[in-house]
Chains A and B, each alone.
Chain A
Amino acid sequence: MRFIPAVLLSLALVQATLMSADALASAGGSEHAPARAAVQSYLAELTERARQARLAEHPVWLALLHFEKGRLLRGGRSHATTAAFFLSPEGRRDPQAELVATLASFALPADTRLKREEHPQCAFVARRHWLAHQLQIDTDRLPFSECQHYENWRRGLRAVGLSLIFPEGFMNNPASMFGHTLLRIDESRELGAQEMLGYAVDFTANAGGDSGLGYVAKGVLGRYPGYFGVHPYYQQLKRYADWENRDIWEYRLEITDQELDFLLMHLWELRGVSFPYYFFTKNCSYQLLKLLDVGMPALRLSEGFPRLVIPVDTVRAVVERPAVVRGVRYRPSPATQFRHDLRHLSRRDRRRVREIAEGRLEPAGEELAGLPAPKRALLLGLAYDRLRYAFLAGQVDEEASRGLSRRILIARSRAGVEAGGEPILEGPARPLVRPDEGHASARAVLAAGWRDGESFVDVELRPAFHGLMDAEGGFVKHMQIRFLDARVRYYPTVDRVRLQELAVIEAVSLSPRSNVFRPLAWKFGTGVRTRRVPAADSGALRDTAVWTTELAAGLAYDPHRLLLTYGLATMQLDAGPGLDDGASFGPGALLGLYLSTPGDRWKLHLFGSVTRFALGDPTTSLRVGVEQRLSLTRNTALTLAGGWRRIARESWFETRLGVNLHF
């Protein structure tokens, strides 16, 4: 059913394309332009026809204007904030006025140049294309201009196909934690090296020199103008894959030539047009959906994203539409490949790689010459990569690394082998679960348990995004982002309800260290939490609400791919009316390990922590615990947790059995 409009639109586009081709031919060859008066009367006729057909309310017209319907007291308006994007002064709020002004501007003399240094017909090629079809514009009566710049640009893109690109999340930059999306214009429908030569379309905001608080506040509140941009895809690959070590997923889309053509016409209209960038809502991923909506309106991709727009959810929205994705390619980052290859080497060979990269083992020297050529080739290749990472990390100066890297590569070229043949080592396997196949972004938990002999029921709701104990398929490993995670606890025996926790945000990155990559493991969280404190008179524990903020840094290691160990030094600040002096602050430590089965069906977390609140309300808090998760389906799991806690001189046990449901 939903394909019918697409078919109609496609037909419309074909027809309109033919029309505009005719128009260009006649405009080029006509000796005399029609008299102004005749044009004006035809214009009036077209405007009237548009009004009768209520074209200004048509979804395609609204999409071309990036018009958002109003809510409650606020009227609708376009999201675009650049004045030159509108031909009518009322255009931002009034689609009908904009339509009238657009038609009028099309009738301006051929040498007219507006703010964008082009005739309006060429600045707004998609509007022209669409209106020409909708109104059956007769180009003998309203001549069409030839749009040389657009045609050049369009030819240069060599567009044949379109892909949706998803670089995975990047924990070392908070703004990138949720991942990112871009579109890629492909010049071939075939797979191959030409993919990296395509053009990437993205929506970005420039934060200039801002950093810290101002940057974040502005990013969240939409104070940075965002723009669409087009860059060679290999530049984006360098940025995401080479520099940020992010694996990339490429979803090739099923798009007709007409749909792609119309999408690119509209992209041309968006040059230099700004939209406020909102980190959580109207962000890169949202704007790309809006662009796709113009090309493929029948899919209604941006529908259903009223609030939080998480990049991977937009990928899901695309994948879930039937017959839209033709194929998916996994592109492991060079760092992923490097780690994968190193894992297949003996300890001795790993040492050789290190020695070559550090300049202590001559690439063309005797020791390496004695090795079989494939082995030598492999070690030299890895040594080059290693040197590159050392250089990127600033551990080697440029001059030294240049000479050494050339010597390594010359030796590598002389080792021959592999040229066009089979690779020496198989590359990293594609993960079993794609990002769009991971668990859904929101989570609800229903749990029951005992604390200190008292039974309770927990209800938890987390709008986003992923926890360390959740099934990790499709997500970046060893990371956690809990956003607005609320847990309410009910004690049936005493009929009491408490807000056990409201984690406004908690981000954890436990990237493991190796000889080459040395990330810091870290954690940051802030929110409301119920804390037990000893009463001043009796010393018995009672619940009190505190605002808690925790910052931690440390190291993580993965001695085996199913095992991760970590140790963090923490600092915690609690504030609340139930505490002596209203606050307590102190250092602490957090140690633990994660263990999972192959395939990640079951996962175990053992941990211990100590916090010594030294300032304000002084207490020492000890905790030892275990958590387990057993996945039932992609979106459901059973959890069992238990632990022992001690605060001041009181200690107690707590156990909890729960059901997780992602949705």
Chain B
Amino acid sequence: MRAILMALVLALAPAGMALADNDVGCGVGTQIWEGQKGLPVKLAASFTNGLTFQSISITFGLLNCNGKDTVTADASEMRLRHYASQNFDRLAEDMARGQGESLEALAYLLRVRAEDRAAFRAFAQAHFDELFTHDHVTAGEMLGSLDALLAEDQELSAYTRS
């Protein structure tokens, strides 16, 4: 009885339930660079009380599908790229503001020491237009520019990745 009635309730409920999001699950390397371009990352999804409408793979790995791939030396690089691409629009906003949790998390992933954090925030803000040079900048390009700019910086050159 309860089930049938609940069914009625939900059947008549507002739309917006069938939107799908192709979650990043497998093959991060490919997905990072596709479909995540531009500042406002395209998104449309509905995730419910533990019931999804997506055919997401059951992700158990960290940045891979099944947790079987060996953790390689560039795991932290993968993590950084995944993070930047997944949080691209918030990150862009925080870099322009020179403040915010997304920017702090980026600093954490780049292993910026506490005493250099203030300089890093100011750096991101000051170089914003050099990091986002055109409308279709991807997270990967932005990270590349960041690396090149950091290399030239007197205080922060220790934080380049290459």
Contact = CB atoms under 8 A, between A and B. Distances in A.
A95 interface: no
Nearest to B136: A402
Listed residue (B11, B24, B55) with the most chain A CB atoms within 10 angstroms of its CB: B11
A91 interface: no
A145 interface: no
Contacts of B2: 220, 280, 484, 504
B26 interface: no
B67 A271 contact: yes
Contacts of B46: 173, 244
Interface string B32-48: 00000011101111111
Interface stretch (A24-32, A520-528, A624-632): A520-528
Interface string A237-254: 011101110000000000
A208 B39 CA distance: 30
A157 B62 CA distance: 7
B60 A271 contact: yes
Contact of B14 (A155, A235, A392, A522): A522
B45 A243 contact: yes
Contact of A174 (B9, B101, B102, B132): B9
B73 to A, nearest CB: 13
Given A208-B55, A220-B6, A271-B60, A520 B99 contact: no
A173 to B, nearest CB: 5
Given A156-B62, A175-B48, A232-B83, A413 B98 contact: yes
Contacts of B81: none
A207 B128 contact: no
B93 A384 contact: yes
A153 B62 contact: yes
B128 A423 contact: no
A538 interface: no
Contact of B62 (A196, A199, A208): A199
Interface in B56-89: 56, 58-63, 66-68, 70-71, 75, 79, 82-83, 86-87, 89
B105 A193 contact: yes
Contacts of B95: 409, 413
Interface stretch (B117-125, B143-151, B152-160): B117-125
B2 to A, nearest CB: 7
B75 A401 contact: no
A453 interface: no
A231 B59 contact: yes
Contacts of B108: 192-194, 197
A206 interface: yes
A235 B129 contact: no
A204 B50 contact: yes
B67 A409 contact: no
A211 interface: yes
Given A231-B59, A402-B38, A420 B118 contact: yes
Contacts of B9: 174, 216, 505, 507, 524, 526
A221 to B, nearest CB: 6
Interface in A515-536: 520, 522, 524, 526
Contacts of B21: 239
A231 B24 CA distance: 9
Contacts, number: 261
A47 to B, nearest CB: 31
Contact of A284 (B49, B93, B107, B126): B49
B89 A412 contact: no
Contacts of A284: 49-50
Contacts of A177: 49
Contacts of A421: 99
B93 A176 contact: no
A419 interface: yes
Interface stretch (A222-230, A319-327, A437-445, A598-606): A222-230
Contacts of A210: 53
Contacts of B18: 209, 211
Nearest to B72: A152
A120 interface: no
A209 B46 CA distance: 13
Given A212-B11, A504-B2, A505-B6, A413 B125 contact: yes
Contact of A406 (B24, B39, B104): B39
B135 A402 contact: yes
A549 B8 CA distance: 10
Most A Cβ at <10 Å: residue of B55, B66, B90, B107: B90
A295 interface: no
A398 B38 contact: yes
B75 to A, nearest CB: 7
Interface string A496-525: 000000001101000000000000101010
A575 to B, nearest CB: 13
A79 interface: no
Nearest to A177: B49
Nearest to A413: B128
A551 interface: yes
Contacts of A239: 21, 45, 47
B11 A213 contact: yes
A368 to B, nearest CB: 14
Given A419-B125, A505-B5, A227 B96 contact: no
B83 A207 contact: no
B51 A149 contact: no
Contacts of A387: 40
A244 B21 CA distance: 13
A238 B86 contact: yes
B59 A205 contact: no
A76 B101 CA distance: 48
Nearest to A527: B5
B71 A155 contact: yes
Nearest to A241: B90
Contact of B51 (A204, A221, A401): A204
Contact of A209 (B6, B48, B53): B53
A304 to B, nearest CB: 20
Nearest to B82: A232
B53 A208 contact: yes
B132 A207 contact: no
Contacts of A157: 62
B42 A398 contact: yes
B159 to A, nearest CB: 16
3 smallest CB-CB distances across A and B, nearest first, come from A419-B98, A284-B50, A193-B104
Given A220-B6, A410-B96, A418-B97, 6 more contacts: A157-B62, A205-B51, A216-B6, A244-B47, A311-B49, A419-B99
30 contacts: A153-B67, A173-B13, A173-B14, A176-B47, A196-B102, A204-B51, A206-B51, A210-B53, A212-B11, A216-B11, A219-B10, A220-B3, A224-B51, A227-B58, A229-B56, A230-B59, A232-B86, A234-B83, A239-B21, A242-B43, A243-B47, A384-B93, A387-B40, A388-B89, A398-B42, A410-B129, A416-B98, A419-B125, A420-B98, A420-B122
